Structure 1
């Protein structure tokens, strides 16, 4: 497997393999933490964390990928105060994707069903990082999903795109990411451009995989996208233009700092 496959993808060691049966026997279950500022929830932003290509190690409550996604909640909740928007944080059962099982996809599907059980048929925007971005894109066909923000996603060749029909999709990637591939993200957007309702590739200058260099920028981008898709507040003009254009190099800025937009005809 190529190195551009997410957080330590492909590095599961023998010790983790030996633990697999014990973890399976424990009947691990995913977790869902709801952060709701009001009494009534009318829409949800679901956060999905990253992981590895292969690992049956359970995801601990203190895991760094989980904490990384939790940090998106304050910006979303603060901007949506009084609008009925809640944030849900998914904790997967296992740290790994674990082909052919695709365990995070199963967990994300469970989370969507759990949201519907708790709140009814409310609209949902998915936000996933790395492996979680891949999982979010995979479950985008769920009836509740209105949009997906895939951040530095792990999207190997031949990832399906048919499930993006009718959805609004943001694929954002740091230009210094050495863990997952910006080129793969761009290729994914190219394949999905004729399927999704609105889609764009957004390059974040100076950012590596963990999104630690410009956290405020990432949080603001996700906030604007999620709340724009849900109709809570207008999107920024740059983001709206990018999604409407459907161009394949949106987010790449020229020497003058302006975004080059080439509209799809």
Structure 2
């Protein structure tokens, strides 16, 4: 099988504190399947898409419970597709995860969808990454202004970083579906064209 031009790791959201087992059928995981499927369908063999799973549903403070599973998923992609750029797509808690995984030099592109950025998570992203954050103006679970601040800081550091505000958009991305998904597909297309 021919190597892809880009590997894509999709990281679903979760919650602040919970030891409930993560399930592939919980809403946060299911919310990301349309992204995974549309990226694979649009770009075919040029990409390989993998959607991560975690052991539990919560971040759980300093335990950062999903991080070992997310890092393992990234490491597996790196081993499978040596020297292939990796794009990360994460929603909510998954947006926090992609910022932290963004320290890895093989990560070329980061798409953060309504990210739950805490404690300047974005500062971990390496200087060579391209970053796009999309956030709904009416999100009450995560903070669009903090996301915009993070992008401004990344841009000031010299990164190719952009912020898109979704007018009247909420956290679940169930509004303006064409915008959320269209921008995600454009983002992956731009990553392939670099």
Same fold (TM over 0.5): yes
Distance in 2, matches of 1:50 and 1:162, equals 19
1:61 aligns with 2:20: no
Q: Which has the higher helix share?
A: 2
CA contact (8 A) 2:53 2:70 kept: no
Would you say the 8 A contact 1:167–1:197 is kept in 2? Answer: yes
Distance 1:119 1:169 in 2: 21
Q: Distance in 2 between matches of 1:158 and 1:80?
A: 33
In the other structure, the counterpart of 1:40 is: 2
Could you tell me which residue of structure 2 aligns to residue 51 of structure 1?
14
How much has 1:182 moved relative to structure 2? Answer: 0.6
| 2:58 corresponds to | 96
* SS of the residue 1:146 aligns to: strand
Report deviation, 1:196: 5.1
Structure 1 residue 106 corresponds to structure 2 residue 68? yes
Name which of 121, 136, 139 aligns with 1:177: 139
Higher RCO (C-alpha under 8 Å, 6+ residues apart):
2
Among 100, 104, 126, the residue aligned to 1:164: 126
Contact 1:164 1:192 in 2 (8 A): no
- Distance across 1 between alignment mates of 2:173 and 2:124: 28
Counterpart secondary structure, 2:63: coil
- Gaps of at least 5 residues in structure 2 are none
Q: Does the aligned pair in 1 maintain the 2:133–2:162 contact within 8 Å?
A: yes
Q: What is the TM-score of this pair, normalised by structure 1?
A: 0.68
CA contact (8 A) 1:164 1:195 kept: no
Give the counterpart of 1:217 among 179, 182, 189. 179
Compute the TM-score of the two structures, normalised by the length of structure 2.
Answer: 0.92
1:158–1:81 CA distance, 2 compared to 1 (3 A): closer
Say whether 1:146 aligns with 2:103: no
User: What is the CA-CA distance between 1:208 and the residue it aligns to?
Assistant: 0.7
Please say if 1:193 is aligned against 2:139.
Answer: no
Counterpart of 2:167 in structure 1 is: 205
Alpha-carbon distance, 1:103 to partner: 2.1
Cα contact 1:127–1:136 (8 A) shared by 2? yes
What are the residue-to-residue correspondences of 1:233-252 with 2, within 5 Å? none
Aligned length: 193
Q: 2:37 aligns with which of 63, 74, 78?
A: 74
Q: 1:141 deviation in Å?
A: 1.6
Q: Is the 8 A contact 1:166 1:195 kept in 2?
A: no
Contact 2:99 2:121 in 1 (8 A): no
Structure 1: runs of 5+ lacking an equivalent: 1-38, 233-265
Q: 1:153 to 1:118 in 2, by over 3 A?
A: same
What is the root-mean-square deviation in Å for CA atoms of aligned residues? 1.7
Cross-structure match for 1:252: none
The alpha carbon displacement at 1:154 in A equals 0.6
